[in-house]
Amino acid sequence: MPLTDMPDFAPMLLEEFAARNTTRVDTPVIQPAEPFLDMAGEDLRRRIFLTENERGASLCLRPEFTIPVCLRHIETATGTPKRYAYLGQVFRQRREGANEFYQAGIEDLGDRDVASADARVVVDALSCLTKVLPNRGLAVTIGDQAVFEAVVAALGLPAGWQKRLVRAFGQTDLLEAMIARLARPQPVSGLSGEVEALLEAGDEAALVAHVEAQMERTGYLTNASRAPVEIVRRLKEKRLLAGASLEPAKLDALKEFLSLNVSLRYAPGVLADFARSAGLPLEKAIAGFDARVAAFANAGASLADITWRAAFGRPLDYYTGLVFEITARGDHDVLAGGGRYDRMLTLLGAKDHIPAVGFALWLDRIEKAKGGAR
């Protein structure tokens, strides 16, 4: 898509961004691929256009702006709080539509008032869409990665299973398959009787000696990438995960939580009632959730027009709290989406913890919603 095909409403969005105390930034189209491959999630990783430089380093065409904007913030050593706005092309392999298209958005970095910042980005996204789509009703759906993580932790599953479930958040089919698996423990296949017996006995020293002897006998030890101690650790972890299951009451509680789907107006009471009836200690997560709902109300948002779905997530691995999407009523195309990603800047190399939240607008879909698709 050449630059001349930028939607005609783009200047209107830039005016909206400028009115919201943002700094306009641009980032290179060619980006280091590693941050996206490490953090973006499987769905986006499959769609990235990869290449290499003359030194063999992996590069990619910019598939989104959040990671590049955060990298730029770290490189320029700009203080926080800081609000960045962007508008430019991104490149993804897509089943329908062009593989290069325009996105615009805001990244809000460093505001320690998490609830207020969360409410602000959703209200900003809504306001921008209302400006360019004045005659379209809009539907907002929100979820909360942090609340889901708190529920999973309260169920008492091994850390490995908690990570699996959290990574599957928002992917309905995968999450349902994992929940079905948690209904019953599974044996670890391919282990010898002797290894099984040593694992059952919990005799780690004898198991390490057994693995080392087997590696020496087969000649594998000299070329091994993992030491016997590490192999035993992985075996124990694999056996623990395979043998994990949830008792029926806890499994039912997880299913009940994921079925919650209500207007944000009623969500605090529904979440509190769930925690009480399930007997789960969710006080910290509920306090954060309630503070955000209050911030939405203070920002002038109509709580009755926002839906909270407990199972709602977005297919990017870096989210840590609020996630949201906005569509035109009666349509499934996502016009805006975003969320909170508090761990990202530290993982990208920032020396200090920097809370962060933001949103992106899909300009090709907005243009289609305006009735001007070409």
Same-domain check for residues 146 and 285: yes
| Same domain flag for 59 and 130 | yes
Please give the C-alpha separations between residue 12 and each of 87, 98, 105, in angstroms, as whole numbers.
12, 23, 13
What lies within 8 Å, CB to CB, of 114 at 6+ separation is 288, 291, 292, 321, 340, 355, 357
Same domain, residue pair 213 and 360: no
Is residue 107 domain-resident?
yes
The answer to whether residue 298 sits within a structural domain is yes
pLDDT at residue 198, as a whole number: 63
Residue 322 included in any domain:
yes
| Residue whose structure tokens are 């035993």 | 232
Q: Give me the half-sphere count of Cα atoms (radius 13 Å) on the Cβ side of residue 72.
A: 19
What pLDDT score does 288 carry? 96
Range of the domain at 218: 193-243
pLDDT of residue 372: 40
Beta strand 356-362 with 100-109: parallel, antiparallel or unpaired?
Answer: antiparallel
Do 55 and 144 sit in the same domain of this protein? yes
- In b/e form, how buried is each residue of 301-333, taking b as 16+ CB within 10 angstroms? bebeebbbbbbbbbebbbbbbbbbbbbbeeeee
Is residue 40 in a domain?
yes
Do 13 and 145 lie in a common domain?
A: yes
Tell me whether residue 260 is in a domain: no
The angle that helices 193-201 and 228-243 make with each other, rounded to 10 degrees, is: 80
- Residue among 365, 307, 299 at smallest CA distance from 331: 365
Those residues whose C-beta lies under 8 Å from the C-beta of residue 329, and which sit 6 or more positions away, are 136, 137, 138, 139
* Rounded CA separation 17/78 (Å): 19
Same domain, 238 and 289: no
* Together in a domain, 233 and 333: no
| CA atoms of 23 and 86, how far apart (whole Å) | 8
| Same domain membership, residue 83 and residue 15 | yes
Please check whether residue 330 lies inside any domain of the structure: yes
Residue 187, domain member (yes or no): no
Residue 146 and residue 17 share a domain = yes
CATH number for position 339? 3.30.930.10
CB neighbour class for 212 (10 Å; exposed up to 12, middle 13-18, buried from 19): middle
End-to-end C-alpha distance for the chain, whole angstroms: 12
Would you state the pLDDT for residue 203? 66
Interaxial angle between packed helices 145-154 and 159-168, expressed in degrees from 0 to 180 and rounded to the nearest 10: 150
Q: Where are the alpha helices (DSSP H) in 19-113?
A: 34-39, 42-45, 66-76
Render each residue's pLDDT in the chain as its tens digit; 374 residues. Answer: 344 478 899 999 999 999 999 999 999 999 999 999 888 877 788 889 998 888 888 999 999 999 999 999 999 988 889 999 999 999 998 877 789 999 999 999 999 999 999 999 999 999 999 999 998 999 999 999 999 999 999 998 878 788 888 888 988 888 888 888 888 766 555 566 666 666 566 667 776 677 677 777 766 654 455 677 777 566 655 655 555 667 889 999 999 999 999 999 999 999 999 999 999 999 999 999 999 999 999 999 999 999 999 999 987 888 999 999 999 998 989 999 999 999 999 999 999 999 999 999 999 999 999 884 33
b/e 20-37 (16+ beta carbons within 10 angstroms → b)? bebeebebeeebbbebbe
Tokens 């809000």 locate to: 108
User: Count of domains in the chain?
Assistant: 2
The pLDDT of residue 131 is 95
pLDDT number for residue 234: 67
Phi first, then psi, for residue 337 (nearest 5°) are -155, 155
pLDDT at residue 186 in the model: 60
- Residues 286 and 235 placed together within one structural domain of the fold: no
Residues 6+ apart with CB under 8 A from 116: 295, 298, 299
Does residue 55 lie in a domain region? yes
Residue 69 and residue 12 in one domain: yes
Q: Which two tokens stand for residue 71?
A: 């990298």
Which of 151, 97, 115, 126 lies closest to 20, judged by CA? 126
User: Do 213 and 134 fall into the same domain?
Assistant: no
